Amino acid sequence: MKNQKFNALFSVMALAAIALLLAACGGAATPAPAPAEKEEAAAPAPAEKEEAAAPAEKEEAAPAEEAAMSDRCGDKSKLSSELNIFNWADYMDPDIMARFEEECGVKVTEDIYSSNEEMMAKIQAGNAGYDMIVPSDYAVQILADGGFLAEIDKANIPNISNLNPDNMGMYFDPENKYSLPFQWGTTGLAYNETAFPDGPPDSLAYIFDPEKVCEHSGFVSMLDDERESIGAAMLYLGYDFNDTDPDHQAEARDVLLKQKDCLAGYNSDNFNQTLASEEVVLAHAWSGGAALARDENENIKYLIPKEGGSIWQDNMAIPADAPHKYTAEVFMNYVLDPEMGAVLTNYTYYFTPNTASEPLLDEYYHNLLKEGGMMVDDEIYKRLHWIKRDDKTIIFSDTWTAVKAQ
Amino acid sequence: MTKRQIGFLGILLSPGALWILLFFLIPSLLIVVYSFLDRQTGGGVLWSFSTDAYVKLFTPNPNSPIINDFVIIFLRSFWWALLTTIICLILGYPLAFFIAQQSTAVKSMLIFLVMIPFWTNFLVRTYAWKFILNNNGLLNTLLHGLGLPRIPIINTPTAVLIGLVYGSLPFMVLPLYASIEKFDYTLVEAAQDLGANYFKVFSKIFLPLTMPGVVAGSVLVFIPVVGQYVVPTILGGGKVAMLGNILAQQFGSAMNWPFGSAIAVIFMILLMFGILIYFYFEREEETV
Amino acid sequence: MAVQQQVQRGPAARAQSQTHPPRKAGSRLLTWGNRLLWANMIFSFVFLYLPIVVLVAFSFNDSRLAARWSGFTLKWYGLMFTSEAVLTAFWNSLVVAVVSTVISTILGTMTAIGMERFRFPFRKTYDGILYLPVIVPDIVMGVSLLAFFALALDVINSSFNLTGDSTLRAGLGTVIIAHVAFNISFVAIVVRTSLRDFNKALEEAAMDLGANEWTTFRRVTLPLIMPGILGGALLAFTLSLDDFVITFFTTGPGATTLPIEVFGRIRRAIGPDINAISTVMLVMSIGLVVLSQILQRRSSN
């Protein structure tokens, strides 16, 4: 009889063991994801030619014929067998990694993080083992200042010429010594057209004026992000987006507290879903999330309010202690290829810095973003602000704590 | 103790103790050290002594004598954790008792059935609750279908409490079960023979003898709840913070590691104090 | 078995009645009590399984948005089996959970026995230390272990001259070490509840009858504290399987676990493929528990 109790204990392990077996079988039966799905994106040949012409400036020891055959793989003899990248979730089409493996024989392993700070903590601790990371603007600056990034050898990345000069030479890396643009986006307001019959909510008053917010009480959400939400309050008050003046911060706090009672809540994780399922009708939102919501519900539109919004850019960089630096550079070059650039952006729904890839983008993507109001023109661009961090901006955290304490 | 016993004790304790010392105690001391250092703008610490973190933690708000935002959040976290613990006890104690009454085979099956939902990712389960409690979620659809008014429950403290109890219930049931299971029912019979009524049997015999389970369960529920940050964000709409949210913020977006460490140190001291008080009274009882 | 049977005839045979508590002592009050117990049990299980039912239902939902029902599909199950990231993460999670549960259950039970059965100097202090891993918030433990492992691996790599691809790095090994570090305490706490007020007469009787310490432990003590050990192991397995924060800070390249995968995905949508893999795991767990019950019934008949 006592043995039955042992059985119970062993069944935990047996259970796990069988689960493991099943998982293993599943794994073994898995073929590499077929690239067929996105094949049409590869169709237009002219761009390929353009790109083939680009590597003229390439100084490589590889024999010319091999270079022509596999110029997307760099010098194959110098490639490592594996490459470890550390990236945001759902931010790299698995197709790109599978095709790189097929073409160049490098096994790409992707691990994911959900905030810059998490990623920075691991990179700063050292010996993390990653070859490529995707830090946002301010994170590039912090990592570069701390000496945690390797200088990129641009000779290995001829596809740099595909990049839009507007996305290069930003404040966080003026000479692009350490980083190359990956994707970028904006922060504004996403709304459900049917809830605003009198016209779009084109002002921050729709989220901060208590009267206007409470018209949709319980159906408005703000980003759960101290810099974005307080920054928006600053713009509403007519101050600078990065204002650290204690009096202005106190005003911003009061604006946020007054708005709070009529909010559904703060949500920066899945506002795309709450918008699409009409749990909220107005959301302080990132452009990519708004596009995802529109993908599911075509009543969702997006705009940058007249007071302004913010802009951000994620970038590819190589940690200073990366084990496979050359391979990482070749992979960056691969990602910056016009064809791959299009595959990437069709997948993420953000904006691409890769000018050469623009003609290859899906029509669906274009229409989604154009009709959804996500596209950025020169007039809108002027209203966008970068989030900057320095020693004083810690006050944003304290203001945010005060908002969340009540 | 004989030499043999000492040797035996050494074999029993040293592997666990070494593991905890090496992979827990030493790293944890680092956090105490961090709390007395200067913050680095990009996260991490500067190796210069500073009490800034503690000064900040104990500086009251401008228009209040003692209270500051952190005290409010501490108090709220403790209050919610207390409520969660009580509700879990009310649900968990009879459940553990019921399970312990069954035959050996049924018992272990039921205990497994209590745990199995928790092998599904916590975040996934919490989102499932969101779909149930949403304005147009399952519960409200059901109420609407029955001709009853919808109740706004998502993004309220009630929703948070439901999520907290849900996430903690098995951690109450397991230790309770372990201590009720070995309860000697002949004691109840003996007491009844001596004329004790049910209330007396429960309060004088059953409860005291299963107290170790009650305490262990309460500890395993209370402490993780204080540090929760997922449930308030998803079910509470992120409107009010608990201690866990503030810790995540300080080590995350605020990039103020010394301050986060200081909050953690104070939190640990408070809890340690509570546990030591319990030990003190418990040992007194044991010697009686 | 011999010892056990003798014990049953021994002075404390009464304790054996625990598996079948006397219900004959019933009265109206007790029947009422029983009804309440049943009601509470049913309510608790509905409460525990309600979100699980929702999750299983949505794993068959045609829409990528989990919030709306738009038709039945099995496509997520297909997707799940071709998604290398999800399968690898699932596999990693199971390896970590199983290995760390086995190690921490053994060490935790040993610790519990040592703490309960012996009086020694600094016992109270150690008692307090044992509670620390329960008290320390996840993120604090994660950040401190990150710094610790970075330093430790650095020392190891430089003293053994490991460079290039042979460099020792964080990975599943460090995750397991970290999980054991917090799980020992959880196991010890639960096991101790079953050692407390333990009827020592049984052990003494066995010793009187000539059983040595090891036999007594194996035949008498261990079976009696088994519910506690089982509870501790279940707790450890559950905590390990679900841990995100500590795992994130202690893991390395290629060693992503399911919680990390799930947390990373909330920005976009926790896809129905995650629901699908959760369902598969759920069905397997319940199936195995039921199966082990059937096997046990058969073997006892």
Is the pLDDT at A34 greater than 50, yes or no?
no
Residue B139 near residue B132 (C-beta atoms within 8 A)? yes
**Could B239 and A266 be called an inter-chain contact, meaning their C-beta atoms sit closer than 8 Å?**
yes
CATH number of B68-255: 1.10.3720.10
pLDDT at A30: 36
List chains adjacent to chain A, taking adjacency as at least 3 C-beta pairs closer than 8 Å: B, C
Domain segments of chain A: what residues? 79-184+313-364, 185-311+366-405
Percent of chain A with pLDDT over 90: 75
User: C-contacting residues of A 110-129, CB under 8 Å?
Assistant: 110-114, 118, 121-122, 125-129
Question: B12 to chain A, minimum CA–CA distance in Å?
Answer: 21
Residue recorded with tokens 């905030």: A115
Number of Cα atoms under 13 Å in the Cβ half of residue B156: 9
Sequence-ordered list of residues with C-beta below 8 angstroms from that of B7, at least 6 positions apart, any chain: none
pLDDT over 90 at A33, yes or no: no
User: Half-sphere exposure (CA, 13 Å, Cβ side) for A332?
Assistant: 30
Contacts of C155 (CB under 8 A, 6+ apart): none
Per-residue confidence band for C246, with pLDDT thresholds at 50, 70 and 90 = very high
Residue ranges of the domains in chain B?
A: 1-34, 68-255
Sign (positive or negative) of CA dihedral A341, A225, A169, B46: negative
CB neighbours of residue A152 within 10 Å:
22
Instruction: Say yes or no to pLDDT of A210 above 90.
Output: yes
pLDDT classification of A46: cutoffs 50, 70, 90? very low
- Average pLDDT on A172-184 reads 97
Chain A residue numbers touching C67 (CB-CB < 8 A): 273-274, 276-277, 279
| Least confident segment among A64-78, A97-111, C211-225 | A64-78
Q: What is the average per-residue pLDDT within C181-195?
A: 91
Tokens of residue B276, six digits? 């030591």
Interface test with B, best of C125, C196, C285 (most B CBs within 10 A): C196
**What CA–CA distance (Å, rounded) separates A249 from A235?**
12
Q: What global pTM score does this model have? A: 0.85
| Tens digit of each residue's pLDDT (9 = 90 or more) over A79-98 | 999 999 999 988 999 999 99
Average pLDDT over residues C58-65: 80
Contact B24 C132 (CB under 8 A): yes
- Given CB atoms, is B117 within the 8 Å cutoff of chain A? no
State how beta strands A179-192 and A282-286 pair.
antiparallel
Computed over every residue of chain A, the mean pLDDT equals 85
Name residues 199-228 of chain C within 8 A of A (Cβ).
223, 226-227
Q: Is the pLDDT of residue C145 over 60?
A: yes
CB contact under 8 A, A401 and B69: yes
- C236 compared with C294, residue with greater pLDDT: C236
Q: What is the DSSP string of chain C?
A: -HHHHHHHHSTTGGGGGGGS---TT--HHHHHHHHHHHHHHHHHHHHHHHHHHHHHHHTTBSSSSTTS---B--HHHHHHHH-HHHHHHHHHHHHHHHHHHHHHHHHHHHHHHHHHH---TTHHHHHHHHHHHHHS-HHHHHHHHHHHHHHHHHHHHHHTT--GGG----SHHHHHHHHHHHHHHHHHHHHHHHHTT--HHHHHHHHHTT--HHHHIIIIIHHHHHHHHHHHHHHHHHHHHH--HHHHHH--TT---HHHHHHHHTTT---HHHHHHHHHHHHHHHHHHHHHHHHHHHHH-
DSSP code string of B220-240: HHHHHHHT--HHHHHTSTT-S
* Contact (CB, 8 A) for A262 and A217: yes
**What pLDDT digit, counting tens, does each position of C87-141 carry?**
899 999 999 999 999 999 999 999 999 988 888 888 888 888 888 888 888 888 9
Residues in chain A: 406
Residue C213 banded pLDDT, cuts 50, 70, 90: confident
C150 interfacial to chain A (CB closer than 8 Å):
yes
Which residue intervals of A302-360 are DSSP H helices? 325-335, 338-348
Give the mean pLDDT of C177-193.
93
Domains annotated on chain C, with CATH: 81-275 (1.10.3720.10)
> What is the distance between the alpha carbons of residues A283 and A191, in angstroms, rounded to a whole number?
6
How far apart (Å, rounded) are the C-alpha atoms in residues A403 and A155?
Answer: 49
What local confidence, expressed as pLDDT, does residue A23 receive?
A: 42
pLDDT value of residue C65: 65
Query: Residue C4: its pLDDT value, please?
Result: 40
Measured in angstroms, the CA of C162 and the nearest CA of chain B are apart by: 23
pLDDT at A160: 96
pLDDT, position A45: 37
- Mean pLDDT, chain C, rounded, equals 83
Q: Which segments of chain B have a pLDDT < 70?
A: 1, 282-288
Most distant CA pair in chain C: distance in Å?
Answer: 77
Are residues C148 and B279, on separate chains, in Cβ contact within 8 Å?
Answer: no
* Backbone conformation region of residue A265, classed left if phi is above 0, alpha if psi is from -120 to 50, else beta: left
Taking domain A185-311+366-405, whether its CATH number is 3.40.190.10 is answered by: yes
Selected residue of C65, C140, C207 to mutate for chain B interface (largest B Cβ count, 10 A): C140
* SS3 category, B185: coil
Domain topology for A79-184+313-364: D-Maltodextrin-Binding Protein; domain 2 (3.40.190)
| More confident call, A119 vs A31 | A119
What pLDDT sits at residue C197?
A: 65
| pLDDT for the residue numbered A37 | 37
Q: Say if residue A178's pLDDT is above 80.
A: yes
Residue C295 has pLDDT above 80, yes or no: no
Average pLDDT (A44-55) is 38
Rg (CA), chain A: 24
